[in-house]
Amino acid sequence: MSKNILGREIPNYIEGYGAAVPYAGLNTRRPNGSGKIKLRPNQRGKNKVLKSIEDAITASGLKSGMTISFHHHLRNGDRVVNLVLDACFRMGVRDLTLFPTALFEVHEPIIEHIKNGVVRRIMGSVNGPVGRMVSSGVLPEPVVLRSHGGRPRAIMSGEAPIDVAFIAAPCADRWGNLSGLSGSSRCGSLGYAHTDALYADMVVALTDNLCSCLIAPVSIPQTHIDFLVEIPSIGDPKGIVSGSTAVTRDPLRLLIARYASRVIEASPYFKEGISFQTGAGGIPLAVTAFMKEAMIRSSVRGNIGLGGITGYFVELLKEGFLKRLLDVQSFDATAIQSLCEDPSHIEISADWYANPWNAGAAVDMLDATVLGATEIDRDFNVNVNTESDGALLHGIGGHQDTAAGASVTIIAQPLMRGRIPCATPRVHCVTTPGETIDALVTEYGVTVNPNNADLLERVRGKSDLPLVSMDELIDKASALSGRMDEIEQGDKIVAVIEWRDGSVIDIVRSRG
Amino acid sequence: MKKALAGTLESSDCCVTLTEKNLGSGLSLTVSGTERFMSAITETVGDVAGSFGISDVDIFVQDRGALDVVLRSRLEAAILRYETDEA
Amino acid sequence: MRRTMMYLPGNNPNMLLKGYLFRPDGLIFDLEDAVSANQKDAARILVRNVLSSQSFGDCEVSVRINALDTEFWRDDLCAVGAAAAINRRVNGIRMPKAESKESVIALDDTLSELEDKNSLPQGHFKIFCLLESANAVWKAYDIATASRRVTGLTPGGEDLAADLRTTRSREESELDWIRKMILVAGRAAGVDVLDAAYPLIHDLEGLKKQTEGIRQLGFDGKSVLHPSQIQVIHDVFTPSATDIEKSLRIVRAAAEATKNGQGAVAVDGRLVDVPVIKRAMYLLTLAGLDAEEAVL
């Protein structure tokens, strides 16, 4: 057991995970190892299209104990994960490692497959009922959480090899070219699937829209696809379009968004050519709207909009406030349409988006980013993974990556959610280290990280931005909430939280 | 059977319901909503019930993230209504 | 400054606890119209406890009690008194349906008793009178001068229109003369004049127009129903750069004249007298500048 530099205890060896390198700074580990892109014997004359998922499982050579991967571009409308696991169950394939880029409520049936032994281990986010189940310690091996950038890094370095990648494709042709741009299940960018397609030993695409002609444009080319299955439906369009793409109308959240936008304006980066990312979610989207107002007022035009792309960013592109959009995930119909039509709206892979070990990732181009948090502590360490009751809640998403890449990282969050404070002396677990966080913005005002003296000075002069120190904020929050009961924790490690470079930034133990 | 309630189920509020119990059966408390504040809520209920000298009631707190000052207020209002209820 | 005073519904914990974060100049904890009759008791307790135990930034804190012809107002005042005993910042009573100088005197007397009972200094509580009928508006000066506690006059909106036997229109032309009358009465009596709230919460353009109009009439501020209205009103009351610059020159000239022992103050070749200098200092306050610092 040793402590990493954030004071979190990390065992040297974690059962079901392996040797743990404790986090020791933003670049703890150096690039190491390399995964292989598998070469295939000549495929001429082969018909890739199979009749059923079962046939694909057989053809791919999927056996018990292997690792299978999925992307989450179909979000809460996805049908593919459940269908594949059901087929594995029927065929007696078990003890699989599930390696999705994220999971949603629609994936609750995984609970059954954990109980019946199809799924033994999960590398990816777990939330809702699956999260609570995992938090109680039911899986033999801990969940491994990686960021959007850390995941492709782990695949490309060979640390997280994939036996079979299952890629849901809204649009495909019989040679195996894939895209997300058309079809009833269209989802826009397929950015999270690219690395899996390149590095998995076997790649199976599933589509409900098999085109007779070669599709155009192509997102993932035929050179990576081994088999294709046509099924009636890969996803429910109502669940594919994200539920979180409306600007908040709550006055308190608007107040916070206004403060956050003003902080960006006060920073040295609010000038011609600014590049930024705001998450999807009520507050960040409102920040986008306020930033547009600020850009109009100051005659500033931006450069790149990054991330999960919503209609609000498309509007900024169309109206000339941004020059390009880099899209790793398209959140709504407007974004999908824009990706189809506008050459300045570019689909990027998760590797391009956020991999810390390539020749240059998009997150490093960011001047500013606005993120959320469940908890934040005196050292500005942020927790997005567990709820206040210690149950696993969210995946990391791009949090670590954008925080590390952006010049100004702002956490915009209400201080109190009901009676529960988000500012606390010590977070339950660390997702993103304090040194990457420049400011916290709450309804009480702006709390600047003392390690950014320049930003502190710039914000100090502004009469409409109340400044409050982190200590004051934590004291205030604690006075408001009163005494909180301790979370009962077991000994078993249920999750390992990796930093984007594969070092271990924290672990989560079982609840109760 | 005497019964009174105060408060709402809106966010940041709580609903407190007092129901009469048999004489001599003491105070009982049920809380739904937040797990992390059981001790704090129990202490506040005991405190307020004690200061109003109320007993032989069941107190049901449906919490929606109410701060202590709100819980105390709803308790006091429910007790006031309970005591003026002629049921 | 009383540019904005925001109503907080007395039975709504969320707004009572967080309203001050939107930084209006004042808060009005509302036990009257925002609370239904069967919740008056619960709201009173909630408001009393919140006022006693929380802080409200720099906001001026007042409570709108129920009218003196109801069964609620005495209990309301007891609650306010108890809160003020613990939190001295609680010092405003907003009196609905102020009809006559007699009713103001009755309230004044009750407030004196309340101050005694709660060991507060005499005169601690101020009164804001809501004039909600034609009769009240006609008697505005008498009402405003009925007690030294009276610190502000406000026209009622809906009730007033009904009493005039008309309805409240979007441009509120029917209230035009009412506003002017109250303005004159208030100035003559030496109290603040604060306009009624703009009821169309989502119409910020309409709010801006109305606020510009009442500012021009000479009003000191406006009631607020929703946080989104605050910034709009503050912007209207914030002086322009030209006004600020001119006020700075007046204030500096006045300070210079005092320093040199001169009686008359001249700016741009014209004599300016005390009311003008006072107005310039007030304008600088509105702009968020300290008049004394500005002189240096």
Q: How many CB atoms lie within 10 A of CB C228?
A: 17
Residue C173, pLDDT score? 78
Residues A147, A401: contact at Cβ < 8 Å?
yes
Q: How many CB atoms lie within 10 A of CB B62?
A: 18
Q: What is the CATH number of the domain that holds C69?
A: 3.20.20.60
Domain count, chain C: 2
Residue C294, pLDDT score? 62
Q: What is the layout of strands, in order, in the sheet containing A119-122?
A: A49-50, A227-230, A202-207, A164-169, A67-70, A96-100, A119-122
3-state secondary structure of C152: strand
Q: What is the CATH number of the domain that holds A430?
A: 3.40.1080.10
A100 & A170 share domain: yes
Separation in Å, CA A342 to CA A318, A323, A345: 9, 11, 5
C277 & C132 share domain: no
C124 & C249 share domain: no
Non-local (6+) Cβ contacts of A482 within 8 A are A419, B37, B40, B67, B68
Domain count, chain A: 2
Residues A378, A470: contact at Cβ < 8 Å?
yes
Pairing of β A274-278 and β A302-309? parallel
A289 & A388 share domain: yes
A428 & A479 share domain: yes
Residues C141, C98: contact at Cβ < 8 Å?
no
Please tell me the total number of residues recorded for chain C in this structure. Answer: 296
A228 & A338 share domain: no
| A20 within some domain | no
- Paired with A307 in beta bridges are A327
Map out the domains of chain B as residue ranges: 3-84
DSSP class of A488 = P
Stretch 53-82 of chain B: residues touching chain C, C-beta under 8 Å: 66-67, 69-70, 72-74, 76-77, 80-81
Q: Is the pLDDT of residue C170 over 80?
A: no
Binary contact (A482, B11; C-beta < 8 A): no
Residues C159, C115: contact at Cβ < 8 Å?
no
| A6 within some domain | no
| Residue linked to tokens 């249920």 | A494
Provide the pLDDT confidence category of residue C265 given band limits of 50, 70 and 90.
confident
C266 & C196 share domain: no
A444: nearest CB among C21, C227, C288: C21
Query: What percent of chain A is predicted at pLDDT more than 90?
Result: 85
C85 & C63 share domain: yes
Q: Which chains touch B (3 or more CB pairs under 8 A)?
A: A, C
Query: What distance in Å separates residue C54's CA from the closest CA in chain A?
Result: 9
Give dist(CA A55, CA A68) in Å, integer.
16
Q: Span A202-219, mean pLDDT?
A: 97
Beta strands in A413-485 (DSSP E): 416-417, 420-421, 423-424, 439-442, 445-448
Average per-residue pLDDT for chain A: 94
Query: What distance in Å separates residue B56's CA from the closest CA in chain A?
Result: 27
Q: Span B45-68, mean pLDDT?
A: 94
Q: What is the ipTM of this complex?
A: 0.95
pLDDT higher at A442 or C286: A442
Q: How buried is C69 (Cβ within 10 angstroms: 0-12 exposed, 13-18 middle, 19+ buried)?
A: exposed
pLDDT higher at A241 or A419: A419
| A15 within some domain | no
Q: How buried is C150 (Cβ within 10 angstroms: 0-12 exposed, 13-18 middle, 19+ buried)?
A: buried
Q: Which chains touch A (3 or more CB pairs under 8 A)?
A: B, C
Binary contact (C21, A252; C-beta < 8 A): yes
A188 & A255 share domain: no
A294 & A409 share domain: yes
A233 & A306 share domain: no
Give dist(CA A390, CA A430) in Å, integer.
12
Structure tokens at A484: 């909180």
Structure tokens at A143: 């969940």
Residues of chain C contacting A255 with CB distance shorter than 8 Å: 21-22, 227
Stretch 17-36 of chain C: residues touching chain B, C-beta under 8 Å: 17
C102 & C233 share domain: yes
Question: Amino acid identity, residue C290?
Answer: D
Range of the domain at C170: 4-237
A228 & A365 share domain: no
CATH annotation of B3-84: 3.30.230.10
C119 & C173 share domain: yes
Q: Does C199 reach chain A within 8 Å, measured CB to CB?
A: no
- The pLDDT tens digits of the residues spanning A384-438 come to 998 777 787 688 999 999 999 999 999 999 999 899 999 999 999 999 999 999 9
Query: What distance in Å separates residue A376's CA from the closest CA in chain C?
Result: 21
Interface mutation vs chain C, best among B5, B10, B68, B69, most C CBs within 10 Å: B69
Give dist(CA A352, CA A361) in Å, integer.
5
Average per-residue pLDDT for chain C: 92
3-state secondary structure of C89: coil
